[in-house]
Amino acid sequence: MSSQDISAPLQIPSQTPEASARPAFSFETVGVRPKQRLWLHVLLLLLTLLTTTAVGARMQFNFDHNLPFFDIDRDLPVFWEVWSNPQLLWTGLPFSLTLLAILMAHECGHYVACLYYRIDASLPYFLPAPTFTGTLGAFIRIRSTIYSKRALFDVGIAGPIAGFLFLLPALTVGLAMSKVIPGIALAGNLTFGTPPILRFFEQLIFPGVPVADLYLHPVVRAGCIGLIATALNLLPAGQLDGGHIVYAIAGEKHKLVTRLVLVVLVVLGFFSYGWCLWAVLLFLFGRKHPAIYDAHPLGRSRYQLALAALAIFLLCFTIAPVSS
CA 262 to chain CA centroid, Å, is 19
Where are the extended beta strands (E) located within the chain?
125-128, 135-139, 179-180, 191-192, 214-215, 322-323
Residue 142 burial by CB count (10 A; 0-12/13-18/19+): exposed, middle or buried? buried
Give pLDDT tens digits for 106-145: 999 999 999 999 999 999 999 999 888 999 999 999 999 8
**Cβ neighbourhood burial of 310 (10 Å; 0-12, 13-18, 19+):** middle
Selected residue with higher pLDDT from 11 and 42: 42
Q: What is the pLDDT of residues 249-291, one digit of tens each?
A: 999 899 999 999 999 999 999 888 889 888 998 888 777 888 8
Q: Which of 316, 52, 56, 64 is nearest to 177 (CA)?
A: 64
Q: Which of 158, 121, 150, 134 is CA-nearest to residue 233?
A: 158
151 closest CA partner among 252, 61, 18, 45: 18
Q: Which residues partner with 215 through β-bridges?
A: 179
CA–CA distance, 21 with 146 (Å, rounded to integer) = 8
Percent of the chain with pLDDT over 90: 65
User: Can you tell me the mean pLDDT for 72-97?
Assistant: 79
pLDDT tens per residue, range 216-236: 999 999 999 999 999 999 999
pLDDT value at position 78? 64
The length of the chain in residues reads 324
pTM for the full model? 0.87
